[in-house]
Amino acid sequence: MSLVKTGAGLYLRAPDGGVEDVKRMKDAGFDYICVNTHDFSVDAWDKVFARAGAAGMPCGVWKFVRSDEDVNALKDEAKELGGPMIVNAEKPLDHGEVSIEAIADACREMDAAISTEPQLYGSVDWSRVKDIPIQIQLFPQENATSRDPRGCRANAFEMGPRFVHFMLGIHELASESFPHRRQPYTVYTADDCANVFGPWAPQPLTALTETDFPRKGPGYGPASPSGNPQSQPSPAWRSLKRVIHNGGFGTFTNPDDSYEAPLVTAMARMQDQFGIQATGDYGRASYAAIRTLVSAIVGQTYAADPQACELMQSAP
pLDDT in tens, 240-264: 999 999 999 999 999 999 999 999 9
What is the arithmetic mean of pLDDT over 276-288? 97
Q: What are phi and psi of 113, to 5 degrees?
A: -140, 160
CATH number for the domain that contains residue 56? 3.20.20.70
Say if CB 15 and CB 44 are below 8 A apart: yes
73 and 163 in a single domain? The answer is yes
72 and 196 in a single domain? The answer is yes
User: Is residue 150 assigned to a domain?
Assistant: yes
Class of residue 172 by CB neighbours under 10 A (exposed 0-12, middle 13-18, buried 19+): exposed
Residue-range definition of the domain harbouring residue 113: 3-200
103 and 186 in a single domain? The answer is yes
Cross-strand partners of 164: 134
User: Is residue 280 assigned to a domain?
Assistant: yes
Boundary (domain end) residue, out of 152, 185, 200: 200
What's the mean pLDDT when you consider all of the chain? Answer: 97
User: Is residue 133 assigned to a domain?
Assistant: yes
What's the Cα-to-Cα distance from 238 to each of 49, 204, 241, 315, rounded to whole Å? 50, 27, 5, 10
What confidence tier does 164 reach under pLDDT thresholds 50, 70, 90? very high
Tens digits of residue pLDDT in 61-70: 999 999 999 9
163 and 59 in a single domain? The answer is yes
191 and 245 in a single domain? The answer is no
Say if CB 297 and CB 149 are below 8 A apart: yes
User: Is residue 215 assigned to a domain?
Assistant: no
104 and 184 in a single domain? The answer is yes
Boundary (domain end) residue, out of 179, 200, 221: 200
CA distance 256 to 242: 10
26 and 124 in a single domain? The answer is yes
User: Is residue 178 assigned to a domain?
Assistant: yes
CA distance 24 to 35: 16
Residue predicted with more confidence, 1 or 164: 164
User: Is residue 76 assigned to a domain?
Assistant: yes
What confidence tier does 47 reach under pLDDT thresholds 50, 70, 90? very high
User: Is residue 61 assigned to a domain?
Assistant: yes
What does pTM read for this prediction? Answer: 0.96
User: Is residue 100 assigned to a domain?
Assistant: yes
Counting the structural domains of the chain, the total is 2
121 and 250 in a single domain? The answer is no
